């Protein structure tokens, strides 16, 4: 289940962040849209043997349904000139959950934040560090928003408590006479 998009800006690129199954996924497509042949960058990254091994380790740690047998077949082919791997093929073949490929007008390739940060290095180390910094800033804003909501609820509860106790003291206790 994908929820409302949030956005961060890194080196003049507006990058979407979505929540999918209670995890943050960052748009790889948005990360490369200001780069010439940007989608080719994603495809080349997916062809890299080190990338495939990284993705497999991530899936092994986070996905009990990851298909290791199919991964082994992909790993055997990786590095060959004829080897090609798209995000959709990776997902369909290995039952991966770390990458999401959506078709259509608002589609694109999204990756779990851990994977997106690793992809950021493929663009440039500077881009990766700025991406992490902006993502942390977004999370801090969200955290402060939730803390503010909690503070408001706490204050309202405290005020309601005082209203109720004052009413009890004024109307019930003073009207009861003790013998």
What global pTM score does this model have?
0.75
Segment 167-173 mean pLDDT: 70
Segment 3-11 mean pLDDT: 80
Strand segments, DSSP code E, in the chain are 6-10, 13-20, 23-27, 99-102, 108-112
Residues near 75 by beta carbon (within 8 Å), at least 6 away in sequence: 49, 52, 53, 56
pLDDT tens figures, 60-114: 999 999 999 999 999 999 888 888 899 999 999 999 999 999 887 778 999 999 9
Least confident of 11-15, 104-108, 125-129, 134-138: 104-108
pLDDT at 175 over 60: no
């Amino acid at each position: 289940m994908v929820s409302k998009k949030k956005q961060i800006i890194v080196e003049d690129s507006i990058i979407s962040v979505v929540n999918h199954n209670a995890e943050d996924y960052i748009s790889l497509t948005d990360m490369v849209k200001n780069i010439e042949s940007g989608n080719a960058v994603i495809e080349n990254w997916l062809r890299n043997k080190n990338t495939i091994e990284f993705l497999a380790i991530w899936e092994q740690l986070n996905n009990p349904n990851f298909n290791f047998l199919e991964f082994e077949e992909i790993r055997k082919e990786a590095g060959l000139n004829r080897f090609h791997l798209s995000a959709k093929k990776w997902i369909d073949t290995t039952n991966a959950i770390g990458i999401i490929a959506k078709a259509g007008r608002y589609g694109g390739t999204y990756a779990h934040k851990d994977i997106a940060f690793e992809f950021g290095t493929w663009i440039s180390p500077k881009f990766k560090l700025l991406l992490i910094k902006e993502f942390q800033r977004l999370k801090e804003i969200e955290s402060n928003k939730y803390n503010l909501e909690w503070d408001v609820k706490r204050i309202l509860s405290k005020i309601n408590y005082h209203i109720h106790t004052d009413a009890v003291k004024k109307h019930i206790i003073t009207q009861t006479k003790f013998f």
